[in-house]
Copies of this chain bind each other. A is one copy, B any other.
Amino acid sequence: MGESEEVPKDFIKLKSEKLSVDEVSELVISPYCGAVSLFIGTTRNNFEGKKVIHLEYEAYTSMAESEIKKICRDVRQKWPSVKHIAVHHRLGVVPITEASVIIAVSSPHRAESLEAVMYCINTLKASVPIWKKEIYEDEYSWKENKECFWANSEK
């Protein structure tokens, strides 16, 4: 009954439908693991005092998937005990309080999955070609992650 009996899997999905926390957590749960850590990015209702109506995401889908696969590979090098990794990112319109991204990682013990989730979201923000437009009442703005090294330095 070795840990090798269950092959580690990566579950990567970009989709326009509402994301499900239950679905993503079920993907990574494993009888060989005692820990699942998750991160959910949700839509805030305000930015610097401006009321946010909703967000719109677009992606360079094929490259985004391959960049997320790279993140998964890095996670497995850094934390070899990690079992399953799931990264679901929503595209198109995302209403306030709904999830734009859900990341879940399972591992036998908790430290690895917690650290891996933190690494995944930090690295996703720095390297995965996805863009967010914030729609206010009478204007909009393309956002720039502070983790993106080629973003305008003044931001």
| Residue in contact with A114 in the complex, picked from B29, B44, B106, B117, CB distance below 8 Å | B117
B34 touching A36, Cβ below 8 Å: no
The total of chain A residues at the interface (CB under 8 A) is 34
Complex: A71 Cα to B32 Cα, angstroms = 29
A40 at the B interface (CB under 8 A)? yes
Chain B CB within 10 A, most for which of A33, A42, A44, A121: A42
A69 at the B interface (CB under 8 A)? no
A14 at the B interface (CB under 8 A)? no
B39 touching A37, Cβ below 8 Å: yes
Q: Which of A20-28, A56-64, A73-81, A85-93 faces chain B? A: A20-28
- Which A7-55 residues have C-beta < 8 A from chain B? 20-22, 25, 29-46, 49, 51
Q: Which residues of B contact A40 (CB under 8 A)?
A: 25, 29, 35-38
Q: Which residues of B contact A32 (CB under 8 A)?
A: 44-46
Complex: A96 Cα to B34 Cα, angstroms = 10
